[in-house]
Each structure stands twice: as structure tokens, then as C-alpha cells.
């Protein structure tokens, strides 16, 4: 009997990180013929992640163009993925999350009559403009997919409220925790200079589209004040290459207590996260990883699709108001009681065994 053919389509570094445990489990399972297809959305960032996990791509659509809009990227992915799907005829397409790559791949599969499985399904802020375009992408994928891998009971409830049949939903946790534990079990290099190689740090990331412009400047202003008040705990800021981030970040160059570094590899980032006294971020994945490790989080967004961590007391939703950001960071850094309450490992987003669970559903159907 021929093994079912499964196409796993991904384009960004977070997709590669979260799908790597699924791919590893599928490879161990040997119950399916798996093809990994890159869209090229993060052309230079994805191959090193796959290599770290001992994986490689079978097809690269090379759809990336400098300065492209989300619409241009989606159109190019559709144009290049459609003939590949019609030629290879996989029995299922797997996508992850809320990227343009994920939505375009789901659309291409729909047009080709191929069922879609969605990893990290059901996350919602209920506002199509925040985050943009991610909220729309993941909601539209839920209209196309027939198999929904929800990370939490809350995400499952969101899907059911939207009319997704319960028989197509599986609560499996988030495979980002599998990836984190994979990284922690292996030797990892120290962060490169000028980042400090030992000691506590404040890990800061900010890259989402809705924070571009004035919100970014407000957030960076708060960061400058926090760094000045806590010179004993350096801020490490891996700067996203998008000019909307790297341009404003240059205003902090030479600022005492703030270390600007190029984007870090996944293993280096996880090692730095383990040393974080505080995480300040607008990233979703970092919230999940911080929760697992017990690192307090100040979320630099107005809305979150991961309310579980805020409700459990491991994070505060500070938005982009500089006074609120500074006040919340100060509470965590200066009040031992606050820090003790927040700095507890929490199992909100899974158990680091999501990859094998998802693989079994993909191959066995139950």
C-alpha cells in the first residue's frame, strides 16, 4: 500500500521552527511520504533553521522580492505553488500559523482540490486590523482547512464559535515547545559580541507591522528609560532587518545598557531566553517559550491572541504607551513579590510533545 503524500509548505523562520518537530515526527513515523516546500518569504532565514533540526527542503519556490507587498508575495506564491501541487498531487497540504505564505498555500491547495491541515489554528484577537495581516490570514485559513490543530482549549473554543465542526479540531499544544526542548538538549553557541556571554539580560524584540512608525518610537523611548534605570541588566535587542525596525533602532546605537545585535539564530536566541530576567516583545512565539521557562513578559501590543498567559499572570499587556511599558517593566524588575508571581514555568501551550501528536493525526487520521 502506497504511503500518503503530505506537502508541508512554509515560508518564514517561525513557521520553520514550529513545523520542524512535526517534520521530525513524520520522518520517524515513516507512515507518509513527506515533501517540504519553501515559499521563500524569509529566503535566508529558513534554511539554517531546517539545518539545525537536521531537515532540508524538497522544493524552493523562491518567491521573495525585496520590498514586496503582502499582496505581491501572495500572488507570486500562488502562481508558483499551483503547478507544483497539480504535478505532485499530495493527499494533504499542511500549513502553520498566520503568515502570507500559510494563507497562499492554503488557497493554492483549495484551488487544486487538496485538503488542508492548519497547525496553530484558532488564535484570535477578533480584530482584522490588529495584528495585520495575521488575524485575517489565520481566520481565512480556518475557512479552508478541514483539520485544525489548536494549541489550547481556548483556541479550540474560538474555532467552534465560528462554526468549525468539532470533529475536525484537535487540541494538541504548540510544537514551538518541542522545538525549544530540542534546542535545549543540544550544544548551542553563546550570543556573539557585543551581547554579553553571561549574566541576566532583558530580551527585547519588536517587529510587527502594527508597531511601525510612531508606536515603534514610543516603545523605544520607554526602552531607553528602562535601560538607564537598570544598568545592571543589559538590554539585548536583536534588530529585525526590516527598515521600519532597523531605522528607528539606530537611534539607540551607543545608548548605555542597550546592545543592538543582528538577528540571532534560533539556538542562540533560546540560550539568551534562558538568561532573560524579563522579556519585552510583540512576538507570539516568544510568549509561549517564555511561559514554558518561567520568564516574565511585557507584551508590546494592544491586543493578544494568546490571552492564556496574561490570565495566568505570567505576562502583562502593555501596548505601546511608554509610561505603561516603563511602569510594568519596573514592577517586574524591582519588586521581588511581583517577579516571584510571574516567574513560574507554566504549561499553558502544551507539553513539548505536540509534534508526534500532530504526526499521528496526519498519518493515522485519529
Query: For this structure, is 120 an active site residue?
Result: yes
Q: pTM of the predicted model, to two decimals?
A: 0.95
Among 313, 278, 324, residue whose Cα is nearest residue 297: 278
Residue with cell 475536525: 168
The catalytic position among 98, 305, 308, 326 is 98
Q: Decide: 299 and 206 in contact? Cβ < 8 Å.
A: no
Q: At what angle do helices 266-274 and 176-184 cross, to 10 degrees?
A: 80
276-281 and 297-299 strand pairing: parallel
Query: For this structure, is 134 an active site residue?
Result: yes
Percent of the chain with pLDDT over 90: 90
The catalytic position among 120, 178, 302, 305 is 120
Query: For this structure, is 33 an active site residue?
Result: no
The catalytic position among 35, 240, 339, 360 is 240
Q: Decide: 172 and 357 in contact? Cβ < 8 Å.
A: yes
Q: What is the pLDDT of residue 343?
A: 97
Report the side by side order of strands in the sheet with 276-281. 258-261, 235-238, 201-205, 276-281, 297-299, 315-317
Q: What is the pLDDT of residue 3?
A: 85
The catalytic position among 13, 148, 207, 306 is 207
Q: What is the pLDDT of residue 1?
A: 57
CATH fold match for the domains 5-174+350-364 and 201-342:
yes
The catalytic position among 35, 160, 209, 353 is 209
For the chain, what is the mean pLDDT? 95
Please, which pLDDT band fits residue 151 given cuts at 50, 70 and 90?
very high
* Residue-wise pLDDT tens digits, 19-66: 999 999 999 988 899 999 999 887 788 999 999 999 999 999 998 887
**Fold type of domain 201-342:** Rossmann fold (3.40.50)
Q: What is the pLDDT of residue 67?
A: 78
Provide the residue ranges of all domains of the chain, joining segments of one domain with +. Answer: 5-174+350-364, 201-342
Query: For this structure, is 98 an active site residue?
Result: yes
The more confidently predicted of residues 29 and 276 is: 276
Among 151, 152, 44, 40, residue whose Cα is nearest residue 100: 40
Bond into 39 cis (ω within 30): no
* Residue-wise pLDDT tens digits, 277-307: 999 999 989 999 999 999 999 999 999 999 9
Q: What is the pLDDT of residue 366?
A: 56
Instruction: Decide if domain 5-174+350-364 falls under CATH 2.160.10.10.
Output: no
The catalytic position among 134, 135, 308, 328 is 134
Amino acid at each position: 500500500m502506497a504511503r500518503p503524500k503530505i506537502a508541508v509548505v512554509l515560508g518564514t523562520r517561525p513557521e520553520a521552527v514550529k513545523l520542524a518537530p512535526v517534520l521530525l515526527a513524520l520522518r520517524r513515523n515513516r507512515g507518509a511520504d513527506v515533501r517540504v516546500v519553501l515559499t521563500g518569504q524569509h529566503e535566508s532565514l529558513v534554511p539554517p533553521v531546517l539545518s539545525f533540526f537536521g531537515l532540508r527542503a524538497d522544493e524552493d519556490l523562491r518567491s521573495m522580492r525585496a520590498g514586496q507587498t503582502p499582496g505581491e508575495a501572495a500572488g507570486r506564491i500562488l502562481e508558483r505553488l499551483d503547478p507544483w501541487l497539480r504535478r505532485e498531487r499530495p493527499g494533504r497540504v499542511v500549513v502553520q500559523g498566520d503568515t502570507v505564505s500559510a494563507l497562499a498555500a492554503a488557497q493554492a491547495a483549495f484551488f487544486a482540490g487538496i485538503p488542508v491541515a492548519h497547525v496553530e489554528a484558532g488564535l484570535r484577537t477578533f480584530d482584522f486590523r490588529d495584528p495585520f495581516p495575521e488575524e485575517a490570514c489565520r481566520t481565512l485559513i480556518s475557512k479552508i482547512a478541514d483539520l485544525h490543530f489548536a494549541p489550547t482549549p481556548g483556541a479550540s473554543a474560538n474555532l467552534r464559535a465560528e462554526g468549525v465542526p468539532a470533529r475536525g479540531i484537535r487540541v494538541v499544544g504548540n510544537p514551538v515547545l518541542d522545538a525549544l526542548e530540542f534546542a535545549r538538549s543540544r550544544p548551542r553557541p553563546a550570543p556573539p559580541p557585543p551581547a554579553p556571554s553571561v549574566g541576566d539580560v532583558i530580551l527585547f524584540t519588536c517587529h510587527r507591522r502594527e508597531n511601525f512608525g510612531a508606536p515603534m518610537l514610543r516603545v523605544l523611548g520607554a526602552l531607553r528609560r528602562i535601560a538607564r534605570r537598570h544598568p545592571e541588566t543589559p538590554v539585548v535587542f536583536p534588530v529585525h532587518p526590516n527598515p521600519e525596525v532597523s531605522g528607528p533602532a539606530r537611534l539607540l546605537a551607543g545608548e548605555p545598557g542597550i546592545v543592538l545585535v543582528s538577528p540571532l539564530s534560533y539556538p542562540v536566541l533560546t540560550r539568551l531566553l534562558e538568561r532573560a530576567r524579563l522579556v519585552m516583545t510583540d512576538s507570539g512565539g516568544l510568549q509561549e517559550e517564555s511561559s514554558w521557562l518561567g520568564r516574565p513578559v511585557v507584551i508590546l501590543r494592544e491586543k493578544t491572541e494568546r490571552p492564556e498567559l496574561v490570565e495566568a499572570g505570567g505576562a502583562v499587556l502593555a501596548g505601546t504607551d511608554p509610561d505603561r511599558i516603563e511602569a510594568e517593566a519596573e514592577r517586574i524588575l524591582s519588586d521581588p513579590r511581583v517577579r516571584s508571581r510571574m516567574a513560574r514555568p507554566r504549561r499553558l501551550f502544551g507539553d513539548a510533545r505536540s509534534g508526534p501528536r500532530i504526526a499521528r493525526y496526519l498519518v493515522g487520521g485519529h
